[in-house]
Amino acid sequence: CPEGSEDHTGYCLHEWYQEIALRRLGRAALMVAAANGPILGDRTHVAHPPVDAARHAAYAAEMARSIMAGESPYYLANTAFWLLAAEDGDPFAANRWYKPDGTPVLRETIQALADLPKRARTVPSVPATVSVLLEDGSTVTMELEDYVKGCVPRELPASSPMEALKAQAIAARTFAARAVRQPRHGATAVCTTSHCQNWSPKHSARSDKAVDETRGVVLTFGDELIGAYYFAHCDGHTRNSEEVWRAALPYCRSVPCICGNVKMYGHGVGMCQEGAIRMAQQGALAHEILTHYYRGVRVQRADGTPFTE
Ligand SMILES: [Zn+2]
Ligand SMILES: [Zn+2]
């Protein structure tokens, strides 16, 4: 708020929103605030007569429904939690949905929201096959797990610690599974170079074991497969995706890294491969390595249960 301005109605709360957004997403979030919430139903405000409980309930339910159905832009959210978070004496406290003793104020609204159909969290399906553009220009379709077995030893030395190989296998599988939905070469998901992921038909026993032990395991954020980017090594910390590309990916945040290099090799976004090896040498498990480099993601098996190895 500008110096000397007044904030009786709490519009500066957007700064608090931004703090939460920065903490949770690692970036500022575009927000639309409507001035209906805090003063809706303020019985002392001349311009805002007591709330029409039925209309409030209908609007709240419609807003919640459209957000759940994905019909609203992601930055539009029902900000009613202002009221729940308000302190005693706060201008919002008089209009919150629950009185301090727990009795609901806007009963109709609370009931309308409680009556909305519940949406189960979906588990993104992992495709069984992936189309691959070979260097001679031909395209082959192969089993996803076989493809990953051709990637891992090209991306990390097969002599790397097993947990680093497993982390690499999960990242490579996730990258390819996402590319099946969003092909990177016309209708073909991936190529065999570092443009997508390095691949060759050569396998190794150790990297095959890493792929088998993580069979079907992928990285998700929200209900989506993540863009599981990785690179050779960083210079002590990885980069926010928007510093390198345009998109600000909430899970590709700058994080400190123990790889011990002073120069960056690669784009710097996502998992530092040397850092993954170093973490594994120090006893980190694959899921710990992955959640260090990809912030806030879930490492999950095909059935949606967490992978904690
Ligand atoms: Zn490619
Ligand atoms: Zn690093």
Name the one residue in this structure whose structure tokens are 């945040």.
Answer: 253
- ipTM of model: 0.97
Ligand nearest to the CA of residue 254, numbered in listed order:
2
- Cα of 139 vs centre of ligand 1, distance in Å, is 12
- CA pair distance 14, 120, nearest whole angstrom: 30
- Cα of 95 vs centre of ligand 2, distance in Å, is 50
Q: Are 1 and 7 in contact (CB under 8 A)?
A: yes
Ligand 2 (ion): residues with CB under 5 Å are 233-234, 257, 259, 272, 275
Ligand nearest to the CA of residue 273, numbered in listed order:
2
- Cα of 30 vs centre of ligand 2, distance in Å, is 31
CA distances (Å), origin 275, targets 152, 268, 284: 16, 12, 11
Could you state, in order of their start, the residue ranges of all structural domains in the chain?
13-114, 129-300
Predicted confidence pLDDT, tens digits, the chain (309 residues): 445 544 444 555 666 667 777 766 666 666 655 544 444 444 556 665 666 778 878 887 887 787 777 776 655 655 554 444 444 444 445 555 566 666 666 778 878 877 887 766 677 889 999 999 999 999 999 999 999 999 999 999 999 999 999 999 999 999 999 999 999 999 999 999 999 999 999 999 999 999 999 999 999 987 889 999 999 999 999 999 988 987 888 899 999 999 999 999 999 999 999 999 999 999 999 999 999 999 989 999 988 889 998
Q: Are 175 and 197 in contact (CB under 8 A)?
A: yes
